[in-house]
Structure formats: structure tokens, C-alpha cells
A and B are shown apart, each in its own frame.
Chain A
């Protein structure tokens, strides 16, 4: 089963992403910020990471950069959740090793069709 790490400080968005993925047959693990996400990534493998950018403690960009340093996460797709206003955020995400991004607002259909571009 495809295992996804969902990192977002907003409960509602995190619940929504996680619920959508579970309904589509993915297995999910949730983390409430970058730091939490990193510690979960250090103890388990994932097939995909979906992370918000703006978070307290550790933001999504730093999380991505940290993940790429872990041997298990060298090729793991990492998608950033961004808003349309942050074009330079996309570039910073890419520079930190992010695979791609999902622009907020998104609906469950868009989420699922997007992640199909990086995992089976």
C-alpha cells in the first residue's frame, strides 16, 4: 500500500488531505509541522510526502531539504502545498529538492490527480 506523509499545521487541511488519500486507498501518517514531519520520516519510510510550506517550528522548504539528506528519501517524491501568490516559493521548493507543488486552493479530485503524477 502506498504510504504518504502529510505535513500541515492546519488541522482542517491536514484532515482533508489525509481523509481524501485514505478514501482513495492510500495509507497516511500525519505530522503537524516540519519538525514533527522530519522525526516521523526518520523512523519510517514513505512513498510520498505532501507538505505545507508555511508552518511554525520548521517550514516545508527546510523539511524538504532535510529529507533529501536522508538516504531513504533521496528519490521520494515531495509535493509542496503552496498558494498562487508564492511563485518564488515554488522555485525555493525546487531548489530544496521538492518534486512538485499543489496550488491552494485545491479540491480532493485535484489532489488525487496531482499525486498520480508522482506515485502509482
Chain B
């Protein structure tokens, strides 16, 4: 019978990653004498090792074995828990994760890192362990003879551990020809027999080519509950059976069979050679079997990859969903009954039925969305380790405080926000927190604090990364920006505008580029990633007190609150989150500048006006700027005014990807289907700003007369 093991691999992987997380958080919290934690860490390692071996991830087993051994020594109290060992174990957790991920993705991994960590582990474990391992692998199995006489005298209580001699004998019979002879000498008188005791003993003769080790293995479970002697039968060595044995065994070997046969016939006359023969044949048989095993492993790995990821959903969420579907079915049957013989008298019932349907659908939609929602602790739980490592690398004392980890967020958003958050936390540790002596000198606690907080605000989730470090020195930022030519030397900027400079490409205030942050992939990437998720980032900072980076994200990417607008015959959707305000253009505030550029004076800002009909080449009703309707939107800290024909309703729309179904279209982030069945495009505000910028630059190149600084100021 064959069982396809690959079906259990996704669950093994999920379990292993959970185990690794448990190990990591356990190791970070580990204190001397904390037996419960060390036990649970050990258990996790042990499970990973057991599963990995079973499902054919041998490199994981091998590596985890070392980790397990070290943990075992800690658990048994043979080894005191030093922070050095904890570091090695944390590193090992990374290695195991690396190995499992490589196995999952069928990719190669960093062999050097594994080898280095393995070496550190074996060094830590000491010489004794190595010798142990070597011994066990060197035990060479040899065929001792061709039969055995076995004396088996079980203890009277053998059956009470669930063992039954009959199964032992049938296992022996599978190895060869077995003769069983029971000895009833110890049998007491009938009156004295205890039905739960075993009084018999046996003399067995087994004619087999099996190794003695195989025979011993059968008695492995009972060896401490019996008197057992196994003697080889030397007299059985006989030419005929061995010869057939050799031929049948080597018939498995297709290529070498001819040469083997000749060898056999040549050796027939020399008994010594024949006795040696089985050994060499059996090694060949093993070699032949090897590709078989490899094939199996490959299949297992291939199937494991088909996994598209899974979500663990609380039972209450599923129950709620089932409940809602039940209600929906009731509403549906009510409506269809109403439709069977409809007359106008029932209009009121129809309306209320439809209202109920609306309510059901809305609740159902919310419930389904909730299934994709996971607590943000999934994204936060990597930070304790990160901050721990950063504290060691930077040599600064710091701790991490996490709040609001139960706040829920869409799985997709969560997956994509991880890296930007890591970057922000790294920045906080590297640039924010000062070294202990500076902190003490400034009257602050010696240990710096980095706080992560998450909470819901409206339809958004807000994630705050706060540090109580030095704060952002606006003067330094300004100097640097001028130095790098990002702004004009005479420009006057507000604090928040200065903070925004941090997100400019190529900006770095760290005096020296460190290993931790400031490696070129800067805050501009962070900001771009957040914007790609439809979110924004704000900075607050007080010099000497600390800084807060506030990330505002939509709860989900699948549904969007939108403003429907009309341009010509088309309906477009503007994400509500990006809208600043909608207004009617007052001609007195309009300035025509270079080329086609039109600016609108909106309080302190000069907002470029972008007629949508021009950008998308449409026939619009309204082409005059005067008195036109304009929606002011903001992205990348840049405001623009979108000229539209009409403002329609505001509604939630389900986002369908254009990229997946068609291809990427500039200025459009997706599409949706409206209530009347028509398709409406969702505007991509940052994309539109880029398009407008390119058009303006093109126009400027053609004219080559315009005021370059003005364009730069407005579109930078």
C-alpha cells in the first residue's frame, strides 16, 4: 500500500512555521530557571524534527537534531542557559526557517549560513556529542550466518505491556522458515494459574539469510522482560541455498546481472568466496534502490508547492457566515413566493423584502471580508526579535512595547505592510534611539523604548511606530536637502514639509551608512509601498523627545469607498480617501502659467488643474475651466484638481484588478461593476499625477520658454 505523503506537507509547513515562531518568542523571553518555556521550545523543535524526517526534509531533520540536543541539555539542567546559547538558538531558528522555506519553494538556500550555524551548534555541544554520533553511524551491519536458534523465556507479566508472543513469532516467520517449540515445564497446576500471567517459554529455530540485528530488533520491545539467547547456526552454510539467494537478489540489478552471474559461477568452488558474496550483492541492491527514493521525494516536493496559502479562521466567524446565508435563503424564498402571483397590493411587502435582501447582502459581505481579516499580531510578532537583534548590533539598550495587536487587518495588506514596518522600526532603533550615556546625560531613562501601536479609525487602520529618542532635527534635514539639491536654499518650509523631505528618493540623514539602515533603499520606498496599498504616512517629532511615524491604511484592498464622477459618457471612481474637497472653480483664482499649465489658488496652495477629458482623450460636456466642477485630490503630498462634468453618488465598490484580467493601464488602478451593470474605472491618483507631470514636461520641452522652477515646485 502506498500513501501519498504530499497531502500532509502543507499542514506540516504551517505547523513548523508556528513552531518556529513559538521557539523565537520563547527564546526572547527565556530567563534562567524558566522550565516551562524551555520545555515548550524543546517540544516545538522536536515536532519540527519529527515531521521533517517523516515528510522527507532530511536537511531540516539533521539541522534541527543539533538544536534539539542543545535544548535537551538545557531542559535536563545539564547546561546553564547563557545568553550566548540563546543567540545561537535564535540564529538556528532562522536557519530552520530558511531550510523549510527552501524546501517549500524548492529553491536553494544559503549553505554557508547553515554550515556556520551547524558548526557553532556542534562546537557548543562539545566533542562528546560528535563522538556519539560517529559511533552510531559506524555500526556496520553484517550478515552473521544463515540461521539462528533462539531461546525465549518471557517474564510472567509480559502480556501486561500489551505484547503477545504470537505476533513476535509471526514477525520472525516473515524473515524465513521458523520452527516453534513451546516449553510447558513452568506451567503450574490448573488451580494455580493466573489468567493474566504468561508461563510458557519457547525454543525457536529460524532458517533465514537475515542479519542477527533484524532478529534482535523483533525482540527489541521485550528484551528487558525476557531471557533471550540467539545463536547462529553455523552448520547450515550450504552451497545451494546461497547460490539461489545471490541470483534472485541480483536479478534486481539489470545492468550488472551478467557479470554477477559469471562471478557466482567462478566462485562456486571456493566456499570462502561464497560466504563473502552476499555482502557485496546486498550493497549493490541498496545502490539500485536509491534512485527510487529520490523520485518519491521529488514528487512529494512538487505537490507541496501547489499550496496557495491558507487562512485559519475562527469557528465563530464561519458560524456567523452560515447563519447569514440561512437568513439570505429565507429572504430569497419569501421574495420568490411573492413573485409567484404578484399584484400591486403587495408592493409594500416587496419593498420590505428587497430592503431585507439589501441588509442580508451587506452583512454577508462584511462577514466574508472579516474572514480575510487577521489580527495584526501576525505582522507585529517578528518585531521583538528584530529589536532584540538591533539592540545587540547597535549596542544601545532598548525595549519594544506592542499595543493593539488584536486589531484586525486584511491578510493581503498585512503581508505587504511587513517590510515597510521593519524599515521604520530599524530607523527608529538606528537613528531615533540614542546611546545610553547620551540618554542618561539628557535625563532620560537609560533604556530606549520603541512602541508599536495599532487601532481602527473610521474605515482605516492606523499603525504607529513611536520612539522616545532624539527626534528629528529639522535644521539638519533642511541642510541636507539643500546640500542634495532637493530644495532651493531660500525656501521656507513648515515642519511637516521638512519631515516629508525624509521620504524623498536618495535622502539619508545618517552621518554614516550603517549595516542596519540607510542602505539606499530608503524611506521613499517605504512611502511608495504604503501608497501602493492606498495608505499614507505622517511624521510627528519633537527634538529631544522622540518621533512618531503614523501609517494610515485601508482595512482591505478588495473594497473601496469611492466618489462616482461623470466625464462625458464615462463614469469614473475617485477613492474617497484621496479627496480633499470638491468645489466649483472661481475664475478669479485661476492662473495660467507656462504652456498648458493652469494653477488654482486654493488658500495657501497652488493646485494644478487637470482636466480628465484631456488626459483620457474624451468628449466632455464641460471644457471651460470657469465654473467647472473640480475635485481636489491629494497623493504623495501633492494636491491636484480634477475637472469633472458632474459629481454622482458616493458608494462602496468592489475592486476588480485590470492587471489580472487585462493589462496595466496608466492612471487607472482597477475597475468595478456598478449597480446598473456598467463598468466604471477607478482612478489611480498618483498615477495620474505622474501622467500629468510627463505631459507637462513634454509640453515644456516643446515650448522651452516656461518657468522651470514653478513646475518643479508643484510636481516634485
Contact surface of A with B, Cβ cutoff 8 Å: 9-13, 15-16, 19-20, 23-24, 52, 54-56, 68, 74-78, 81, 83, 85, 91, 94, 97-101, 104-109, 112, 116-119
| A103 CB, min distance to chain B CBs, angstroms | 9
Inside 8 A of A20's CB, which chain B residues have their CB?
3
Please pick, from B47, B55, B167, B224, the residue contacting A117 in the complex, using a CB distance under 8 A.
B167
**Are B161 and A94 neighbours in the complex by a CB distance under 8 Å?**
yes
Total A-B pairs, Cβ < 8 A: 117
| A62 CB, min distance to chain B CBs, angstroms | 14
Inside 8 A of B15's CB, which chain A residues have their CB?
10-12
| Closest residue of B by beta carbon distance from A96 | B161
Inside 8 A of A19's CB, which chain B residues have their CB?
3, 7-8
Is B168 positioned at the interface, with any CB of A under 8 Å from its CB?
A: yes
**Are B68 and A74 neighbours in the complex by a CB distance under 8 Å?**
no
Q: Which of B5, B9, B170, B221 has the most CB of A within 10 A?
A: B221
**Are A13 and B3 neighbours in the complex by a CB distance under 8 Å?**
no
A10-B50, A56-B40, A117-B167 in contact; A94/B224 too (CB < 8 A)?
Answer: yes
| Contact sample, A vs B, 11 pairs, CB 8 Å cutoff | A10-B47, A12-B54, A16-B8, A19-B8, A54-B42, A56-B43, A78-B162, A91-B224, A94-B221, A98-B161, A116-B170
A80 to B416, CA, bound (A): 43
A56 to B52, CA, bound (A): 20
Inside 8 A of A12's CB, which chain B residues have their CB?
8-9, 11-12, 15, 51, 54-55
A55 to B11, CA, bound (A): 18
A108 to B15, CA, bound (A): 20
A13-B51, A108-B3 in contact; A74/B160 too (CB < 8 A)?
Answer: yes
**Are B171 and A112 neighbours in the complex by a CB distance under 8 Å?**
no
Inside 8 A of B47's CB, which chain A residues have their CB?
9-10, 13, 54
A11 to B50, CA, bound (A): 12
| B75 CB, min distance to chain A CBs, angstroms | 11
A74-B160, A108-B1, A116-B167 in contact; A10/B220 too (CB < 8 A)?
Answer: no
Inside 8 A of B411's CB, which chain A residues have their CB?
none
A24 to B2, CA, bound (A): 10
Inside 8 A of B40's CB, which chain A residues have their CB?
56
A104 to B58, CA, bound (A): 12
Inside 8 A of A94's CB, which chain B residues have their CB?
161, 221, 224
Please pick, from A54, A56, A97, the residue contacting B160 in the complex, using a CB distance under 8 A.
A97
**Are B221 and A105 neighbours in the complex by a CB distance under 8 Å?**
no
| Closest residue of A by beta carbon distance from B164 | A118
| A53 CB, min distance to chain B CBs, angstroms | 9
A56-B43, A118-B163 in contact; A108/B50 too (CB < 8 A)?
Answer: no
**Are A85 and B162 neighbours in the complex by a CB distance under 8 Å?**
no
Inside 8 A of B53's CB, which chain A residues have their CB?
83, 104-105
| B521 CB, min distance to chain A CBs, angstroms | 37
| Closest residue of A by beta carbon distance from B218 | A117
Inside 8 A of B327's CB, which chain A residues have their CB?
none
Inside 8 A of B2's CB, which chain A residues have their CB?
108-109
Is B563 positioned at the interface, with any CB of A under 8 Å from its CB?
A: no
Is B639 positioned at the interface, with any CB of A under 8 Å from its CB?
A: no
| Closest residue of B by beta carbon distance from A11 | B11
Given pairs A83-B53, A116-B171, A119-B167, 9 additional interface contacts (CB within 8 A)? A10-B12, A15-B11, A19-B3, A74-B196, A75-B196, A77-B162, A104-B50, A108-B3, A117-B218
| Closest residue of B by beta carbon distance from A115 | B167
| B19 CB, min distance to chain A CBs, angstroms | 9
Interface residues of B in 639-682 (CB under 8 A from A): none
Is B212 positioned at the interface, with any CB of A under 8 Å from its CB?
A: no
**Are A101 and B51 neighbours in the complex by a CB distance under 8 Å?**
no
Please pick, from B12, B43, B160, B220, the residue contacting A100 in the complex, using a CB distance under 8 A.
B220
| Closest residue of B by beta carbon distance from A9 | B47
Inside 8 A of B449's CB, which chain A residues have their CB?
none
Inside 8 A of B218's CB, which chain A residues have their CB?
117
- A-B pairs, top 10 by smallest CB distance, nearest first, are A105-B53, A99-B162, A100-B221, A77-B162, A12-B12, A108-B3, A104-B50, A105-B54, A12-B11, A12-B8
| A25 CB, min distance to chain B CBs, angstroms | 10
Inside 8 A of B160's CB, which chain A residues have their CB?
68, 74-75, 97
